[in-house]
Amino acid sequence: MLPSNARMYQAMVERDPAFEGIFFVGVRTTGVFCRPVCRARKPKLENVSFFPSTKQALDAGYRPCKLCRPMEPAGKTPDGIDRVIALLHADPMARIRDSKLRDLGLSPSLVRRWFLKNHGMTFQGFQRALRIGNAYGRITHGEKVAAAAFDHGYQSLSGFGHAFKQQCGHPPSKGKGREIIRLARFPTPLGVMVAGAVDAGVCLLEFADRKMLETELRQLRKLLKAEVVPGESRHFELLQRELEKYFRGERCAFTVPLVAPGTTFQRKVWAGLRKIPYGTTRSYGEQAARLKMPAAVRAVARANGANRISILIPCHRVIGADGKLAGYGGGLWRKKFLLELERKNDRTRNRLR
């Protein structure tokens, strides 16, 4: 279930991070295999082979590249950084300085680069965002601003107010009654996904390279009257567990609660998407007819495209009237992968019945 050789070669030449973990490149002239993003000089198309896994590359006689280290899981948070993030979530008021990172055996400059690449902020900025996010949560539940500020390590209300406004765009006094969308990243076989959740459930699940991701976050801020901060949610553990089972072919439906704000029409379309059986597809016309809106095919297609919760609200199961794949924000190659994954596992289950 790989993209075409031409598409994979293009991704390799462009060092496209969206294809991390999707395929590996065996270079016949050197006998090594690499990640798509490897910085080594790019060989010609006729000199490469593509593999869906490191095992298949090894079985074909290739050895792992020492530069890009393809045997290390793509998208996975490095163990040392994983430990640091766990420390911060356990104690959001902690201030982990460079000396502490060195004590943990980590290079501060490497940690900084990792956070810039994966979270768009430095490690110190990530710590500040976590502290502000936790303080915000307490303020929205009625706690006084001063108590939240001092409990989270700020020495003055003015310093807290400045940091809060930089992060949230408004002073702490206007934080009461607002939602908080907490963001996390999950590695998947199709690349890293960004998840967002409020207290009531998951409101966002998108591929990290989705061009509309920032627009969707702005929409959610407005629709939910919320602020977005990095952090943990009680829904993320269940979401990650169910996603892992889905990609292993062990789960057809999801139980994690969802929050999908939108117009009445959009919510009706999204509810219809969740009724499309696993392993099957519908055309946009069939989807509109089932919603008793046969003349609204284009409007239904637009509502599909506005879905912010990929996979769980399965807009990938809708295809063109001619049976061809069309209209998927995560990329048609991902849509193809998801449909083939579901069809394969559905056939396997039917044989076992």
Domain spans, the chain: 5-64, 75-176, 262-343
User: CA dihedral defined by 243, 248, 250, 254, rounded to 10 degrees?
Assistant: 10
Homologous superfamily of 75-176: Homeodomain-like (1.10.10.60)
Intra-chain end-to-end CA distance of the chain, in Å: 25
- Determine the CATH number of domain 5-64: 3.40.10.10
**Residue 245, pLDDT above cutoff 90:** yes
Q: How far apart are CA 277 and CA 294, in angstroms?
A: 20
The pLDDT mean for the chain works out to 83
**Residue 264, pLDDT above cutoff 90:** yes
Neighbours of 283 (CB within 10 A): 16
Contact 188, 246 (CB under 8 A): no
Q: How far apart are CA 40 and CA 102, in angstroms?
A: 30
Average pLDDT for 130-150: 58
What pLDDT, in 10s, does the model give residues 294-318? 999 999 999 999 999 999 999 999 9
Comparison of pLDDT for 255 and 211, the residue scoring more: 255
Q: Which range among 21-25, 114-118, 232-236, 255-259 has the greatest average pLDDT?
A: 255-259
Residue 152: pLDDT band by 50, 70, 90 thresholds?
very low
- Determine the CATH number of domain 262-343: 1.10.10.10
Q: Is 184 helix (H, G, I), strand (E, B) or coil?
A: strand
Comparison of pLDDT for 196 and 347, the residue scoring more: 196
**Looking at the annotation, which residues are catalytic?**
315
Comparison of pLDDT for 275 and 347, the residue scoring more: 275
Residue 74 has a pLDDT of: 60
Q: Do domains 5-64 and 262-343 have the same CATH topology?
A: no
Burial class (CB in 10 A: 0-12, 13-18, 19+), 308: buried
Which residues on neighbouring strands pair with residue 282, listed in sequence order? 318
